[in-house]
Amino acid sequence: MTRLERLDHRFVDWIPPDLEPGVLYITIEYATAVHSCACGCRARVVTPLTLKDWELRFDGETVSLSPSIGNWSFACQSHYWIRQNRIEWAPRWSAAQIGGARELARAPGTSSLATPRASSGMEPASGRLVRLLRRLARAVRGT
């Protein structure tokens, strides 16, 4: 299997049943991003864009998702970041490290309630979300 080095984002109204590898599908209406696992195993990676799950950043040309994508419920156990459409691969981790990482990053398909985001001095997530939606709305309108 070929590990991808980048994803192209595509804003869509709905997520197609057959995912094209190398494409990050983003639906604003359902606030969800979906892509075919970047390791090439074709697992469907669903990343809800909510205050408790993932945050999508669109800079006008590229997208970034945070936190990282940890596919620990899949056989491939791949772990990577999507930053400005680039895939940044993490080193392969042991099970113990994965247990610790769940505190920092979230695995698709697991309950986000199990991994509450620590409330530090960060700006309220709601403010970020509003700005994100405004940015995305502008992007969809093409202005």
Stretch that binds Zn ion, among 2-10, 74-82, 94-102, 120-128 (CB under 5 A): 74-82
Closer by beta carbon to Zn ion, 47 or else 136: 47
Q: Shortest Cβ distance from residue 32 to Zn ion (Å)? A: 19
Nearest to 102 by CA among 120, 77, 85, 84: 77
Exactly one of 41, 46, 98, 129 binds Zn ion (CB under 5 A); that residue is: 41
46 part of the interface to Zn ion, by CB under 5 A:
no
78 part of the interface to Zn ion, by CB under 5 A:
yes
| Beta bridge pairs of residue 45 | 35
